[in-house]
A and B are shown apart, each in its own frame.
Chain A
Amino acid sequence: MTLRMAIAGGGLAAFLLGMAAALAGSAFWLGLYLALLVGLTAVPLGALALLMIHQLAGGEWGRNLGPLLRGATRLLPLAALLFVPVLVGLEVLYPWARPGWEGPGGKGVWLQDWFFIARSVVYFASWILTAWLLLRPGRHPVVAGLGMAAYTITASLAGVDWLMTLEPEFNSSVFGLLFMSQLVLGALALLVAVALRSPMALPARKTLASLLLAAVLLWGYLAFMQYLVIWSVDLPHEVSWYLQRSEGVWALIPWGLVLLQFLLPLILLLSWARSSRRILAGVAVLLFAMHMLEAGWMVLPGLRL
């Protein structure tokens, strides 16, 4: 009960702060709000994906993570509510929402206030519906199969909408897939850390370690491929995304991500260290912290203040 009240109280406080930032027109504060919100929304949203994957593929890990995944998915309506300040303050954050902006071709159609808001509503409605259908007792493989197909499209587009269009010149077709890998990594990191608070046998812990390893590898692969393709061709409207994110202190974060969201977890999760409950929990906490930092890094340096 206390957890529920804490979440409700925190949610209300966050909502009010977000509204204040949106109405005051402060791009930095609303940007920080968006970064934290996207970082935390990864938990219910990534949990929904993991829940569907488990319904389709099965696996022992469902026994330990299942209740947490279900619990996390129930936070989706709260996340939807907390997006309202972002939608209210669209033109504070998104250059395309400001008067006088005109985009070429598809951008002009895609990037309109009412269309953006309608899409966000549809995304959340589809996720909440899928979650509601899945959380009924019993197994629902058909819901999970169709839900997963819909989810890959809605979650990809949500990533494109919320994060990529902060800089309307930028365009990367792997962005949606990369966003989904961030959702799964963020959710898995936090939920594994929570799950390890209760006692768990060694084989079950090793399975969780393998899941984390898979999520880290997937994220590392997609993030590096996006970078490599953009680096190779070196087009101004693409490399500027990375250049802006490596100016001044921001330059520390990509290196931090390489070391602490990829290399160190990779080594620890592949070695004997993963048998230790403490080290595994430490890796999970580190991954979640890096996930939040990455969300900030994706939003803040690109803002046009």
Chain B
Amino acid sequence: MSRLLSSEETYETVTQQVTDITLHPPARRRWWMLMALSLLMLGIFFLSTGWLFIAGVGIWGLNVPVNWGLDIVNTVWWVGIGHAGTMISALLLVMGQQWRNSLNRFAEAMTLFAAICAALFPILHLGKPELFYWMFPYPNTMDLWPQFRSPLVWDVFSFTAYITVSFLFWYVGMIPDLATMRDKTTKPLARAIYGRLALGWRGTAQHWERWRQAYVAIALITFHLVVTVHSGVAMLFAGGPVPGWHTTIFPPFFVQGAVFSGVAVVILLAVVLRHAFHLGNLLTLKHLDILAKLLLATGLLTAYGYLADAFHAWYSGDIHEMQTLHDRLFGRYAWSAWGSLFLNIVLIQLLWFRRIRRSVPMLFVIALGAAVGMWLERYLLIVTGLYRDFLPSSWHGYETTIWEWGLFIGSIGLFAVLFLLFARFLPLVSMFELKEELAAERRMKGDEE
């Protein structure tokens, strides 16, 4: 294992640096400026949902045959982003990879907030969102049950489970750090709140043992959710006889595409946070280098998915499959195909070079490209799978309306507000896990000497 942190770091400097971000906020003005912008976007969110509740889903550009538009694109995109957070936190914890310790806390927060954004869209799509609980199998006077063979019902379960478990993982992982905040703060109210949240943590050996068991157990559960949740999302498409949707590669292809877009967003957040809070010593260039390699690897798997999908459409010789493939590349929405091919496959090849992996601005641009590219890919898959149906008489295009864009921008605002609140009030980096890492590095150094 190579060293990730500088030998100048001690337990005290790590605690001081991370608690200072919350207790003595360094960049108050910048934070407020970002918060104002995010609140403005959140306002757009409330405006778009408010008008939706009054006027109904007719304000969106959806119509037969394109009944799924930007709302489902956004669902798939947001929930996919969340998966990288879970993977970095849970899978790498179980695999004993130390480099996750600088990233896991904010990656988990990202997962939780992204999953919340994702879950909103299908509910808003319902037309009668207030009746969303009908999707749950509860005993009711109408004697109606959901269709358990439908991936739509599987997704209700998997999203609910995912949000619950992601929250638990994030919160349980934060308990020792919340206790540190309680001990460091001088304000009575803050002490009371952090104290309640820390659940009486005293850091005894017994506490640590029980905590460890709980944390690893939740990690194992969350990891399997990454695979099942997004495979369930893929089944929404692959599980229907629609050309361009029904293909067996979709579940694994969706899962790794999700991790790809999520790693991109982790990179974006890491770059912004290390700049805003001067965290360059904890979120080092080595961390960014590893993330960049992960982005390249998952991007290459995305390319494999495109190839397999296109090859088997061509190989099938089915006229509808061929037509959908042709429409995707040269049809009305070809911009989404070429955009995603360029951003998800061509641009990331730069990451083969170490110089680019360690250049923060380049990495930021490439990661932003991947996040946008994956959004375009979701748009491509959904809209071009629908707009030219089996029956030419029902062919109809899809025009995204301003209300759909408003909701999309608004969901970014919701995410940003939640994330800024988290960055302001909760420990942004896992202090105790970094200290464990420091201890391990010291032991190794001791062994060498």
Contacts and interface: CB of A to CB of B under 8 A. Distances in A.
Interface of A: 103-108, 110, 149, 152-153, 156, 171-177, 221-222, 225-226, 228-230, 232-233, 235
Which label, helix, strand, loop or mixed, suits the secondary structure of the B interface? helix
Which label, helix, strand, loop or mixed, suits the secondary structure of the A interface? helix
Nearest to A175: B248
A105 B313 CA distance: 10
B399 interface: no
Contacts of B235: 228-229, 232
Interface residues on B, range: 20 to 34
Given A105-B316, A108-B317, A173 B240 contact: no
B239 A174 contact: no
B241 A233 contact: yes
A152 B307 CA distance: 11
Given A228-B239, A229-B251, 20 more contacts: A105-B315, A105-B316, A106-B316, A106-B317, A107-B315, A153-B307, A172-B312, A173-B249, A173-B311, A174-B249, A176-B308, A177-B308, A221-B252, A226-B248, A229-B247, A232-B149, A232-B239, A232-B240, A233-B239, A235-B241
A171 B231 contact: no
B252 A173 contact: no
A106 B314 contact: yes
A173 B247 contact: yes
Contact of A107 (B252, B307, B317): B317
Contact of A171 (B227, B239, B316): B316
A173 B250 CA distance: 9
A251 to B, nearest CB: 22
Contacts of A235: 241, 246
Interface string B232-259: 0001001111000011111110000000
A122 B316 CA distance: 23
Contact of B239 (A104, A172, A222, A229): A229
Given A153-B304, A229-B238, A110 B248 contact: no
A173 B227 contact: no
B248 A174 contact: yes
B377 interface: no
B177 interface: no
B372 interface: no
B245 to A, nearest CB: 10
Given A105-B317, A149-B300, A177 B252 contact: yes
